Amino acid sequence: MLLNIWNLAKSYGAVNVLADISFSIGSNDRAGVVGANGVGKSTLLRILVDQEQADAGSFQYAASVEVGYLPQTTPEFYGRTIQDLIWESVGNLRQLEERMRQLEAEMAATGDERLATLLEDYGSVTARFQDRGGYDLDYRIDLILDGLRLAYLPRGRDVGTLSGGEKARVGLATLLLRSPDILLLDEPTNHLDFAALAWLEGYLSRYHGGMLIVSHDRQFLNHAVNRIFEIDEYDHHLKKYEGNYDAYVQAKAAERKKWEEDYERQQEEIKELRKRIKDSARQVGHAYRAPRDNDKFASYFFAQRVDVAVSRNVRAAEEQLKRVEAAPIPKPPELIRVNSQFNAGPMQSSVAISVDHLTKCWSTRCVLQDVSFTVAPDARIVLVGPNGAGKTTLLKLLAGLETPDQGTAQVVASARIGFLPQEADDLDAARSVLETYRYGQVGYEAAFVAKLIGYGLFRLEDIHKQVGQLSVGQQRKLEIARLMAQQPNVLLLDEPTNYISLDVLEAFESAILNFPGPVIAVSHDRWFIQRFGGQVWELD
């Protein structure tokens, strides 16, 4: 085994996030980690790379195992170029290569007594060098940069000047170039377009090593993993499921159905036993009929038999009830219900948005050129295209957050635009969830609390947490709650499924599908696009 974990536990104050977590990862294991936002998926990975300390339990990597970690939020890489990161990432291969040359020199100079030992060491080092792609390093560098759509970037460019998506892909590329024995990936697909996604799935399918992948991308989990680890949001334990995401969903549905049936069966049994205890004396008494000769001794004899029968039945029922109540089946928790609260009526105008000869450039690079279109009041549009094609820029132009260089983007006067950005850039980490949600709104605190909890995205104990204490996924849910509070009648959504855990994702998708006004969504989530339907517009 490459990694063994025993009974890990982690809490933040009174909030328990991981409890008694145990599992192993071998060289052929590709495990996807799922669970509600805030259950500790990212925390688990950070513990495994010593960025956080567990409160209890332990873990151990096999000897000489190299670990590669991709965090959910990309480091800034201050002062380094793409080429700098490439050379840093392949440093381990250079070390192996130097060790090979050293062993070759020693074997040429040594006598027979050490040759067998040196040959054994040389075989081990060359095997690792070959498995990590050392013999075709230049080819692999080109392959990975091209596969992740980074070949167009000059390798001497400062990473700090790249967009957020480009930084994330550079981080992933340099991690893959290291070819570690085990990959710990936290939401690796968030900044990948279709071509890069397909390439990554193929690359990981041929990868020699173990993987632990936190992901919300259902299609990616279907293609990339052979096991699912679920961290339960109620007891914080980890449960293992064999197979991909589809197999996990089927197993969970069957598990839930059996749990509900077993719970109902036990509740009926408890109800019946209590009824039997209560009614048993009356039932047995009614069954007794006094002797016809009114013999007093016979009356007493039969009354005693009735009492004995009553006592025996009551004791048996009480013992059975004690056994059942000693091992109660917990009531299945209510499945999450996300209430969209998109209370917008249909728009009265025949055209919601009109774009005429729109052009937008950044320095010498034009991302949108002479773009024209109209959007109907009931439109469903998915914007697709490679990274950097201008999809986010177009949404910001429509939302009035950017100004075009040429042309116009007009929205009807009655439109109330709800814009969900790709990243939570404007959240104040020091504010509470409730303060952030109600910012800019007028009303009583109790009403805001009721509305926020009513969305089904947060519990009462969450609303006074600081935004900085939330996971990235929980921050995304807060943005969705703010979007709902605006009661928009036009939705502009930039990667709406990013960071959202699978328990919320499908409910939020349903809310979008039932939205009465026009929706324009930028997405690379293949599952979402298939379910969303509507028109697909491609930016070249």
- From start to end of 336-495, where are the E strands? 353-362, 365-375, 380-384, 406-411, 417-420, 490-494
The predicted pLDDT at position 37 comes to 81
Give the model's confidence band at 13: pLDDT under 50 very low, under 70 low, under 90 confident, else very high: confident
Sign of the CA dihedral with 312 first, then 314, 317, and 319 last: negative
Measured distance CA(381)–CA(515) in Å, rounded: 13
Report CA-CA distances (Å) from 537 to 165, 394, 470.
Answer: 21, 12, 35
Measured distance CA(536)–CA(248) in Å, rounded: 30
- In sequence order, which ranges of 148-191 are alpha helices (DSSP H)? 164-178
Pairing of strands 406-411, 353-362: antiparallel
Q: Is the pLDDT of residue 358 over 70?
A: yes
The predicted pLDDT at position 503 comes to 72
The predicted pLDDT at position 355 comes to 93
Task: Please state at what angle helix 82-89 crosses helix 164-178, rounded to 10 degrees.
Answer: 20
Residue percentage of the chain with pLDDT more than 90: 34
Q: Which residue has the tokens 């933040």?
A: 12
Return the top range by mean pLDDT from 20-34, 67-81, 257-271, 492-506.
20-34
What does residue 78 show for φ and ψ, rounded to 5 degrees? Answer: -55, 135
Q: Is the pLDDT of residue 292 over 60?
A: no
Task: Output the 3-class SS for 241-266.
Answer: EECCHHHHHHHHHHHHHHHHHHHHHH
Pairing of strands 3-12, 56-61: antiparallel
Give the model's confidence band at 106: pLDDT under 50 very low, under 70 low, under 90 confident, else very high: confident
The pLDDT tens digits of the residues spanning 461-486 come to 888 889 988 888 888 889 988 888 88
The predicted pLDDT at position 79 comes to 80
Average pLDDT of span 238-263: 91
Q: What are 30's strand-pairing partners?
A: 211
Query: How far out from the chain centre does Cα 67 lie?
Result: 21
Is residue 503 within 8 Å of 357, Cβ to Cβ? Answer: no
Q: Is the pLDDT of residue 113 over 80?
A: no
Give the model's confidence band at 282: pLDDT under 50 very low, under 70 low, under 90 confident, else very high: low
Give the model's confidence band at 286: pLDDT under 50 very low, under 70 low, under 90 confident, else very high: low
Q: Is the pLDDT of residue 239 over 70?
A: yes
Please report how many Cα atoms fall inside a 13 Å half-sphere around the Cα of residue 236, on the Cβ side.
Answer: 16
Nearby residues of 97 by Cβ (< 8 Å), 6 or more positions away: 129, 134
Is residue 172 within 8 Å of 70, Cβ to Cβ? Answer: yes
Torsion of CA 32, 34, 40, 43, to 10 degrees: 30
DSSP 8-class letter at 290: -
Measured distance CA(296)–CA(319) in Å, rounded: 35
The predicted pLDDT at position 484 comes to 85
The predicted pLDDT at position 166 comes to 84
Give the model's confidence band at 457: pLDDT under 50 very low, under 70 low, under 90 confident, else very high: confident
Measured distance CA(352)–CA(410) in Å, rounded: 9
Q: Is the pLDDT of residue 300 over 60?
A: no
- Six token digits for residue 302: 């039969």
Average pLDDT of span 127-138: 77
The pLDDT tens digits of the residues spanning 160-205 come to 888 777 888 899 999 998 889 999 999 998 888 888 889 999 999 9
Mean pLDDT, the chain, as a whole number?
Answer: 85
Q: Is the pLDDT of residue 48 over 90?
A: yes
Is residue 169 within 8 Å of 150, Cβ to Cβ? Answer: yes
Average pLDDT of span 280-297: 55
Measured distance CA(494)–CA(512) in Å, rounded: 13
The predicted pLDDT at position 335 comes to 59
Return the top range by mean pLDDT from 18-27, 86-95, 436-445, 499-508.
18-27
The predicted pLDDT at position 310 comes to 65
Q: Which of 458, 433, 428, 455 is nearest to 445 (CA)?
A: 433
Give the model's confidence band at 109: pLDDT under 50 very low, under 70 low, under 90 confident, else very high: confident
Segment among 4-8, 205-209, 281-285, 403-407 with least mean pLDDT? 281-285
Is residue 186 within 8 Å of 214, Cβ to Cβ? Answer: yes
The side-by-side arrangement of strands in the sheet containing 519-522 is 417-420, 490-494, 519-522, 380-384, 535-538
Segment among 124-133, 206-215, 490-499 with least mean pLDDT? 124-133
Return the top range by mean pLDDT from 41-55, 150-164, 323-337.
41-55
Residue percentage of the chain with pLDDT more than 70: 91
* Distance linking the first and last C-alpha atoms of the chain: 46
